[in-house]
């Protein structure tokens, strides 16, 4: 029996799923109280992150035993309550966010100290509250619960985006908040109310709740409301918040904008497709095809924009928009392999993209370099960082032996199942574009001489940062070889192995 299992064996699944929301909030309070003592503050952060992961593992064990917990938190209106539960997709998202919070906490200690950032206590407090929001989204049993915690995630991450406090941060924060709040309140909330009006419930149910309750044309309009209302999925044209958020410190970009925030977006859309519309019903209406074309356009357009970027973090931001488009497109394909591929790509992208953001932050802390033209020969001074960057880049391209190959292979299989030449063309074109903007960075870092002496002698970034980026790069490789446990969860979404 593992240490994690031993530590949580006495906790019931119902209590564990409630503590998964409460523990980050308690951690935020303790972090605030320990703000005068940095070592204690960061110890609390790490302990809270580890404790949250242990609780999520406890919920996973209950799901595997066939007794997933379901807990009603509070009834807000008659028949409308905040309810928590778990199923394969939710536990996958929860494991991803809570596990990578541990790694990002280690990375943040090196980044925040190495960069001598101000307001570090507020940073860690908001980070903890954001993880509460992410857990609430993951374990939401209905649309109402998901919407509440979706908004908690938005509001708690806004101070992180504006962390630096300068004009660029304030401007980026305004864009971030305006886009995400306007789409959720103006589009997502009406979609949820419409769903409740026609179905009489907002519960997530296997097979969906809308079949026989709404016509094809109305279903198409409703799906479009969800597609653009879930702004965190960054389907064009509601994508501008993500590049704007790159003014945030790199740990924020890494976990929240490569994992928790953006994954909350595609996770929400997947829940809506599978448990609100139902893939069987959605296959009978034109909504899915419209969504596939919109997602495919987002993939290619964002890849083209990324190709033109010279700032490393902005390039990674547009790459993220494109990669999210893969997940949305695969989800809307409504075939077994595509749904499995969408779930696996959430994981592969998380490992690969968090590695790339970690590397970008390490380069900034160690060498104060942010532009692609400044990276010539940098691998000679930062071999660990740039090797990890190369692995992350290959993951995004989808090259073996990385996890990105596994997820793209499944999405391609799903495209063949649907007989969609459009999806296949998008995958081929975008893969070529990914290679076109990632491989030159690797080439110039390893094979070109330095253009000019660095502003100061430097080697690698502080060791916590290097340790974190090395671990996430390793996870990208391990996902290629040891993916069966995650695939088993993904197979459960479609009722078993297709």
| pLDDT per position as a tens digit, 138-168 | 999 999 999 999 999 999 999 989 988 788 8
User: What are phi and psi for residue 76, nearest 5 degrees?
Assistant: -80, -40
pLDDT, mean of residues 17-23: 96
pLDDT of residue 1: 37
379, burial (CB in 10 Å: exposed 0-12, middle 13-18, buried 19+): buried
How many helices (H) does the chain have, and how many strands (E)?
21, 2
Least confident stretch, 252-256, 320-324, 411-415: 252-256
pLDDT of residue 473: 97
CB 63 within 8 Å of CB 84: no
Give the span between the Cα atoms of 361 and 350, in whole angstroms.
16
Q: Is the pLDDT of residue 11 over 70?
A: yes
Give the span between the Cα atoms of 316 and 302, in whole angstroms.
10
User: Model pTM?
Assistant: 0.93
CB 292 within 8 Å of CB 411: no
> DSSP alpha helices (H): ranges in 283-335?
287-307, 312-333
Structure tokens at 364: 């900034």
Least confident stretch, 46-50, 121-125, 189-193, 259-263: 259-263
Give the span between the Cα atoms of 483 and 271, in whole angstroms.
22
Give pLDDT tens digits for 44-85.
Answer: 999 999 999 999 999 999 999 988 999 999 988 777 899 999
pLDDT of residue 283: 86
Least confident stretch, 111-125, 134-148, 233-247, 269-283: 111-125
pLDDT of residue 3: 47
Domain residue extents for the chain: 288-498
> DSSP alpha helices (H): ranges in 369-449?
383-397, 403-418, 421-447
Give pLDDT tens digits for 248-294.
Answer: 888 888 877 778 888 899 999 999 999 999 988 988 888 788 899 99
User: What are phi and psi for residue 85, nearest 5 degrees?
Assistant: -155, 180
pLDDT, mean of residues 30-39: 92
pLDDT, mean of residues 100-128: 87
3-state secondary structure of 329: helix
CB 426 within 8 Å of CB 398: no
> DSSP alpha helices (H): ranges in 66-142?
88-114, 120-138
Give the span between the Cα atoms of 262 and 272, in whole angstroms.
16
pLDDT of residue 456: 60
Least confident stretch, 47-61, 83-97, 116-130, 184-198: 116-130
- Mind giving me the DSSP string for 62-81? HHHTT---EEEEEEEETTEE
Q: Is the pLDDT of residue 4 over 50?
A: no
pLDDT of residue 455: 57
The packing angle between helices 287-307 and 312-333, to 10°, is 160
CB 476 within 8 Å of CB 403: yes
Give the span between the Cα atoms of 322 and 431, in whole angstroms.
10
């Amino acid at each position: 029996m593992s240490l994690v299992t031993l530590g949580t064996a006495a906790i019931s699944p119902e209590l564990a799923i409630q503590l998964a929301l409460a523990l980050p909030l308690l951690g935020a309070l303790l972090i605030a109280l320990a703000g005068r003592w940095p070592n204690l503050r960061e110890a609390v952060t790490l302990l809270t992150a580890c404790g949250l992961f242990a609780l999520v593992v406890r919920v996973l064990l209950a799901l595997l035993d066939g007794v997933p917990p379901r807990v009603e938190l509070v009834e807000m209106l008659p028949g409308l309550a905040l309810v928590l539960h778990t199923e394969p997709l939710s536990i996958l998202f929860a494991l991803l966010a809570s596990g990578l919070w541990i790694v990002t906490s280690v990375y943040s200690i090196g980044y925040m100290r190495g960069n001598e950032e101000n307001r570090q206590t507020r940073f860690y407090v908001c980070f903890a509250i954001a993880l509460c929001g992410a857990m609430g989204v993951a374990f939401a049993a209905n649309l109402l619960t998901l919407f509440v915690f979706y908004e908690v995630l938005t509001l708690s991450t806004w101070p992180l985006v504006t962390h630096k406090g300068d004009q660029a941060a304030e401007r980026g924060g305004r864009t971030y908040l305006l886009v995400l709040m306007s789409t959720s309140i103006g589009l997502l909330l009406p979609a949820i109310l419409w769903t409740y009006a026609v179905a009489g419930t907002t519960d997530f149910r296997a097979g969906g709740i809308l079949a026989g309750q709404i016509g094809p044309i109305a279903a198409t309009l409703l799906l479009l409301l969800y597609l653009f209302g879930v702004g965190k999925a960054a389907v064009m044209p509601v994508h501008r918040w993500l590049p704007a958020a790159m003014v945030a410190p790199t740990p924020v970009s890494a976990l929240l904008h490569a994992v928790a925030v953006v994954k909350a977006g595609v996770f929400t859309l997947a829940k809506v497709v599978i448990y609100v519309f139902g893939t069987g019903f959605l296959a009978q209406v034109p909504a899915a095809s419209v969504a596939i074309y919109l997602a495919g356009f987002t993939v290619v357009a964002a890849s083209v924009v990324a190709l033109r970027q010279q700032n490393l973090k902005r390039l990674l931001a547009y790459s993220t928009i494109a990669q999210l488009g893969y997940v949305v497109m695969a989800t809307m394909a409504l075939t077994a392999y595509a749904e499995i591929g969408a779930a696996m790509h959430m994981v592969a992208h998380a490992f690969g993209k968090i590695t790339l953001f970690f590397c970008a932050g390490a380069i900034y802390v160690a060498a104060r370099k942010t532009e692609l033209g400044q990276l010539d020969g940098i691998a000679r001074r930062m071999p660990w960082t740039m090797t990890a960057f190369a692995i992350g880049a290959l993951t995004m391209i989808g090259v073996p032996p990385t996890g990105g190959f596994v997820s793209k292979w499944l999405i391609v299989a799903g495209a063949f199942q649907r007989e969609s030449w459009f999806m296949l063309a998008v995958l081929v074109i975008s893969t070529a574009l990914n290679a076109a903007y990632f491989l030159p960075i690797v080439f110039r870092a390893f094979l070109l001489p330095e253009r000019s002496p660095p502003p100061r002698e430097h080697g690698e970034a502080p060791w916590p940062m290097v340790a974190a980026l090395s671990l996430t790069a390793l996870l990208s490789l391990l996902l290629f070889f040891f993916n069966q446990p995650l695939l088993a969860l993904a197979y459960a979404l479609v009722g078993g192995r297709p």
